[in-house]
Each structure stands twice: as structure tokens, then as C-alpha cells.
Amino acid sequence: MSDSANFEKLHKGVKRWIWNQKWASLRDIQEEAIVPILNADSDVIISASTAAGKTEAAFLPACSKIVDQNPDGIGILYISPLKALINDQYRRLQGLCDILDISVTPWHGDVSRSLKLKQQRNPNGILLITPESLESLLLNQGSWTLKAFSNLCYIIIDEFHEFIGSERGCQLQSLMHRLEFLLQKTIPRIALSATLGDMEQVADYLRPNHKIPFKIIESTASHSDLKIQLRGYLSPHEQNEEVPSSFEKITNDLYSILRGKSHLVFANSRARTEDIAVTLSDLCEKSFVPNEFFPHHGSLSKEIRESLEARLQKESLPTTAVCTLTLELGIDIGKVTSIAQVTAPHSVASLRQRLGRSGRRGEPSILRLFIPEQEITKSSHLLDRLRVHTVQCIAMINLLLKKWYEPAPTNQYHLSTLVQQTLSLIGQYGGVHATQLWALLCESGPFSSIDQPLYVAFLRALGEKDLITQASDGQLILGAKGERLVGHYSFYTAFKTPEEYRLEYHGKILGSVPIDKPLVESQQIVFAGKRWEVKSIDHEGKLIILKKAKGGSPPTFSGDGLFVHDIVRQEMRRVYHNRSIPIYLDEEAKSIVYEGFEYYHALNLDDIQVFQSGKTVFIAPWLGDQITNTITILLKLNGLLASCFGGFIEITNSTTDEVHDVIRNIIESPKLTATEIANYIPDTILEKHDYFLPKAIRDIGYGARSFNIDGAYSCLNDIAK
DNA sequence: GACCTGCTGCGGATTG
């Protein structure tokens, strides 16, 4: 530790723990974090990849501080998006905290009541909690919370990037703000984040009102080397027995490439995840070898997922997890040999996170993309001919190498979360004046897009639904319906979850399927990587009993669309324009992408954005889904039969002349606002509590989230020129 | 073409 300038500033117990670890030196982020955290006069953002020692960078100085000051009550509040991560960190912090004689308490829905009671009687040390459990503490135990946290020194937020831009992130911002208001002091926030994009934006999200300064600590340690291969697979036009489909070719290749070592296969959807896992497991059975391919996604039971995570962690048996974004998050599964991505990734940021899972000590990260495309026939669609899936992958890899990542959406209203936070505050204090609510939540809090008149209309709407009511002294209190809503445990989450049926075999729950995509008796399905038949359905108890079977395909899961960003589509256009074929393409992918380039230039898409094919007119904005959707709706409102897919707008039964006329008409007419466009959308209920709001208010949030007016008009202006 | 996260308080039975 002789090269460390700040090591001596740590508490002697902390230094003893570091010596016990036999570390040769502190990592760069750990060294740099010591002074700003000990000073405790600013927020700190520690940004580094997985396994770079972020946890220690935050806790070594933070623990030094609370041991030195020895405050009554809880000294450090750690907030995590995952219960599993709290359990991991609880184990990791034991050794350090034993030496320092400070207690660590995990606090989430699965933690036993006895452990919580112990902490409630004698609050102290470090508390590890989820946002939902913190919500419950503020709402139900306001006075205990005030006492327990009165000497709080730090709030540490793990996996902070997971929160940015979401309803849950907005809830977290509000909870931290409410806690500071309750304690009447500012608590330094320490955010641990992956290196994804603009760190100034991260700081802005960490403390939107900028009450104290922030310090950004980014790891300079470079990522390990990266090896990429993009493999193309053509699906034959006509399905027959002799020619294998691209799915068969992909699963055969996955089997031969991956078997024998440990890997992650990202397949983008739960249905495809199940399909691939069961096909690979069938291949093992056919070859009389033990199965080593297992699915992992959010609809599988906790037991099934945890046993797979444990098998990966143990590293004693070769194990490949075919997974959705569940294994992209920070659960500790060790490193795998390689990553396989089947079909194009949704975002550059998620591709980066997935890559971070591969590359054992000193080994390079290995990424193989398996991208299917359709064989071209006379009737092939424009998107197939342009080979957009393959080109999207190339564009995303280009951006990944440039270290560009999708920024989080800003200026969202999060009205549903505002319903939750308003009710929670009223529940916490018993009665609150409207002006106090607005001052806390909107003026100084995270809902800064909401001005006073809008909030008054919003409160009136809650009153009409009997969620709140006004007492004789003018204070707002919970209405009968509000009491019921706030009193139920489902109130603590900011996000909506659909109703589900549980799937059971031999008394064991395997997982769940959404209720709006029902299964029928004797239907054969694939689930948890195995084949089943539905034996019986108990609609009352929402339970489906399974028996073993031989056939079947995965059930339908529900989900929303995901937006591709403007920069990705612009990079795709650059790829077409340059016609450069990357060296990491295999022969099939090369010829596929070559076909796409030829078609792009045959249509002269470098110069033309509107073109006709038969009775259909296409528009190629080369922009993200948000702007493309906005333009599509503007065209529809002007009488065209427009729809969009994959970044292209398709107008049936029209001509380029007619489309140009309509575009001219749109840009010469008064510009519509996002809210005005949302007025035309019949169903704008998206988030958990949207149902309580009148359409006029809901549309404000919906419009801001779904449309980009300036982007759409500027694109239409370009086309008109 | 479509991802993920999370949750209380109480009654009653059982055990030491």
C-alpha cells in the first residue's frame, strides 16, 4: 500500500481488513473515492464495469467515517434494485463489518420478521434495502424512520444505471428527497454505476435540484480485448424437411460451439429463450450426453433461477444459460467464456452490459451474434431485402466500439408515480396541504415538469376518484378508496405487474404465465426448458397443473415494444452508404449484407427518402422509433393509411405525389403538440395508476413519453425540401 | 417484435 496516498486516511480497522485481503494495492476508483467520501460534502458517482471493486470503493471510506463518528442509529443506507444483490452484498460485507464491529442488516420482502424487529428495536450500522421496502418504512413508520436515520451519514445506491429514466427511478428520487425532508438535512449520495454514457446526466438524475456539488470517479482501467463474430443464417423461403430452417442451423451451431464450457445465450424474448433451451437440451439427449443448457427468465420460479445461478457460480460443470435480460443485471454468477446473441440486440447499452459478463481473468471477451434473415423472393419485403437486422447489428457494434450508449429519456412526467408519491406522503403525515405537497414533490422534488395549475387539476382528479378528500381545516387526507389502495401491500411498487397463472408439476411451482394469454387443457407447451402437457386449469386459484409430454412450443408471454434510438438508425445509414463489410462477418453474413448494400444503392436511398413500390409508398426517415412513430401518426391524422415497422413508414394505396402533398400540408399547418397528438390515441393507460387520471391529464404524460414533435417536424421539413 | 424489478400485518398453529 506504499503507493497509496490516501490509504492512511482510512480507519485502522478498515486498513486491517485490507491487509487481511492481501491486496497488493487499491484499485484506481478505490483510491480516488477515499477523500471525497470522507469529506462527505458532495455526492459521488463511482463508475466502472462489473467486478472492478465499486462496492469496496464506496464502503471502505464510508465505514471508516461511521466507525470514527460512531453515530447513534443507522449510519449508511444502501439501496439496491434487486433482493438477490442485497443478499450478495450482505455476505460480502460481513468480514469488514465484523472487524469494525458494526452491524449489517438486509431489509426486503424475503427477510424474516425477527431480523427486522431486532433492527427496529436497536437501529444501527448499515441497512441494505429495496426502494419498495423504504417506501413502506416512510409510509408506515415515519416516526421510527426519523429517529433511526437521524444520524445517517450516506445513502449508497447500487446499479444506479438500472434506475435512470424509469418509474422506479423516479420513485427512488422521490424517496431520497422525502427522507432528506423528514431529517431536515442533506445526506451525501453515492451512486455505483456501470460506465454507460454521459456521466453528467447521471449526476443530474442523482440529485435533480443540485443542492450540493458532485464528484465523478470513473475507472481508467481499460476493458479486456474483445473478439466479435457475426454469423448470418438464411431461412429458406419454403419450409421443407430437407432444407433446415435458420433456427435449426443456429441451434445446431450453438450446440457444437458452446458445449463443454460455460456461456450465456441472449435470445431477446422469453418464448425464444425457451425454444432454444429445449432444442439444445433435446440435442444433448439425442447424443446421450448430460444436458448443460438451461433457460433463465423472469417468468421462471425463483428456485429454478437460483439453482441455475448457483450452478454457474460453482464453475464445476459446463453450463450454458439461455436467458433474457435477467442475467444482464448484477447478480453474481462469475464470468463465462463467451456471449452468444441470437437476433439483433435492442440497444447498445444492453449489448455492452452483456459483454461485461464474459472474459475470465486476462481472457478476451467473446461475442458471437447469430442473425437470421429471410431468403429473397419476388414478394420479399423491403426490410428483408435491405437486410436491416444484420445492418443494425453492425451499426450497434460500431457504436459500441466508439463507446456511445443510448442516453436515458428526460423530461418525463411520471404521473402514475406522482399518484403513488402523493398518496404515500398523505398517508405518512396523516394530512397535508396541497401547497406543501407541490412544494415537496414538484418544486424541489423530482416531478419538476409539473407546474402548480397542473398539480391542482391532478389533485382534483384524485378527489373525484375518492382517493383523497379535503378535511375541514383544508388539509388533504386519504379518501376511502385511497385508504384501501395505500393499505394493501401492492402499493409499494411504482411499476405495474400483470396477473398471472402459476404452473405446477408434482406440487412444485415452475413459474408463471400471463393471464391474458391463456393456455387450454391438453395443450402442449415448453417451459423451464422441458416439454409439458396442460393436465388441468384451476381458474379460481389461478393454477395450471402440468404433466410431462414430448411435443409443444413455448407459451405466449406479454410485453411492450422497445425503442431503437435515432443514433443507431443514422449509423445504419452510414453503414449502407460506406458499403464497408466488417471483417468479423462470416461468409454467409458477408453475402447477406452485400445483398442489402446492393438493394440500398439500387433504390438510391442515399438521396431519396420517399419512394414507391406498387401501390405502397415507403418513407425512410433513418431515425429512431419515437420520431418514426410520431411521423406515422401525423400522416394518419391527415388521412393516409400509414404504419411503421423497423424504422420504415409504409403507406398503402397511395402515391409519392399524394404523400408529398400531405407532408407539405402538415408542415404548413399549425404545429401540433405532443399532448394534442396523444388526444387522438384512444387508449393512453400505460402505467400503474394512469387509470385514476382523466384522459386530458394522462395525455400530457403519454405525449411526452411517446412522441418527439420537434424531431418529427424537422424530418418532414427535410423531406419537403 | 416485445426485457426486468417488488411487497405488510395479522391471525393461528406449532414448537421449545
Q: For the domain that residue A362 is a member of, what is the CATH number? A: 3.40.50.300
Is the minimum distance from the CB of A406 to strand B below 7 Å? no
Instruction: Judge whether A347 and A355 are in contact, CB under 8 Å.
Output: no
Domain annotation covers residue A570: no
Nearest nucleotide, CA A372 to C1': B1
pLDDT of residue A633: 94
Give domain status of residue A1, yes or no. no
CA distance A383 to A400: 23
> In sequence order, what are the residues at sequence separation of 6 or more whose Cβ sits closer than 8 angstroms to the Cβ of residue A89?
A55, A78, A80, A128, A158
Q: Is the CB of A608 under 7 A from strand B?
A: no
| Domain identity same for A268 and A189 | no
Q: Are residues A437 and A390 located together in one domain of the fold? A: no
Residues 486-515 of chain A within 7 A of strand B, judged by CB, are: 489-490, 492-493, 495, 497
Is the C-beta of residue A239 closer than 7 Å to nucleic acid chain B?
A: no
Burial class of A499 by CB neighbour count within 10 A (0 to 12, 13 to 18, 19+): exposed
Do A348 and A386 belong to one domain? yes
Residue A421 belongs to a domain: yes
Parts of chain A with a pLDDT under 50: none
Among A492, A509, A535, the domain-final residue is A492
Does A384 map to a domain?
A: yes
Task: Please report whether residue A267 resides in a domain.
Answer: yes
- Does any strand B atom come closer than 7 Å to the Cβ of A108? yes
Say yes or no: Cβ of A562 under 7 A from any atom of strand B. yes
A689 CB inside 7 Å of strand B: no
* Same domain? A322 vs A445: no
Straight-line distance from CA A118 to C1' B15, in Å?
21
Asked whether residue A720, judged by its CB, lies under 7 Å from any atom of the DNA or RNA strand B, the reply is no
User: How far, in Å, is the CA of A107 from the C1' of nucleotide B16?
Assistant: 27
The number of domains in chain A is: 5
Nucleotide nearest to A494 (CA to C1'): B6
In a shared domain, residues A484 and A366? no
Q: Are residues A616 and A698 in the same domain?
A: yes
What are φ and ψ of residue A91, in 5° steps?
-65, -45
Where is the domain boundary, A452, A468, A492?
Answer: A492
A124 with A233, same domain?
no
Query: E strands along A516-658, which residues?
Result: 524-527, 530-538, 543-548, 610-613, 616-619, 641-645, 648-652
Cell of A212: 450540493
Window A165-204, strand B contacts by Cβ < 7 Å = 166, 168
Domain extent, residue A533, equals: 500-548
Phi and psi torsions of A318, nearest 5° = -60, 130
Place of cell 426490410: A383
Sign of the C-alpha dihedral computed for residues A125, A128, A131 and A136 taken in this order? negative
If asked whether residues A99 and A237 sit together in one domain, one would say no
pTM value is: 0.93
Question: Which nucleotides of chain B have an atom under 7 angstroms from any protein CB?
Answer: 1-10
Q: How far apart are the C-alpha atoms of A557 and A246, rounded to whole Å?
A: 23
Say yes or no: Cβ of A95 under 7 A from any atom of strand B.
Answer: no
Residues A508 and A484 in one domain: no
What is the nearest nucleotide to A561, using C1' and CA? B2
Residue A576 lies in a domain: no
Positions 625-644 in A, CB within 7 angstroms of strand B: 625
Listed residues A164, A191, A218: the one ending a domain: A218
Full DSSP string of A307-369: HHHHHHHH-SS--EEEESGGGTSS-----BSEEEEES--S-HHHHHHHHTTB--TTPPEEEEE
Cell of A185: 438535512
Q: What is the pLDDT of residue A236?
A: 85
Distance in angstroms: CA A575, C1' B5: 36
The verdict on residue A282 lying in a domain is: yes
Nucleotide minimizing C1' to CA distance for residue A299: B4
Does residue A293 fall inside a structural domain? Answer: yes
What pLDDT was estimated at residue A1? 63
| pLDDT of amino acid A557 | 76
DSSP A155-213: EEESSGGGTTTSHHHHHHHHHHHHHHHHHTS---EEEEE---S-HHHHHHHH-TT--S-
DSSP E strands, A417-499: 468-470, 476-478
Q: Residue A558 has what pLDDT?
A: 67
Q: pLDDT value at position A699?
A: 95
Asked whether strand B has any atom less than 7 Å from the CB of A556, the reply is no
- Nucleic acid strand B within 7 Å of A110 CB: yes
Q: Are A431 and A461 found together in one domain?
A: yes
Burial letters A52-88, b for 16+ CB under 10 A, else e: bbbbbbbbbbbbbbbbeeebebbbbbbbbbbbbbbbb
Strands (E), A208-290: 214-218, 226-235, 263-266
- How many Cβ atoms sit within 10 Å of the Cβ of residue A651? 25
Same domain, A529 and A630: no
Q: Where are the beta strands (DSSP E) in A410-487?
A: 468-470, 476-478
- What was the pLDDT predicted at A329? 76
Give residue A663's pLDDT: 97
Which protein residue lies nearest to nucleotide B6, measured between its Cα and the C1' atom? A493
Together in a domain, A191 and A305: no
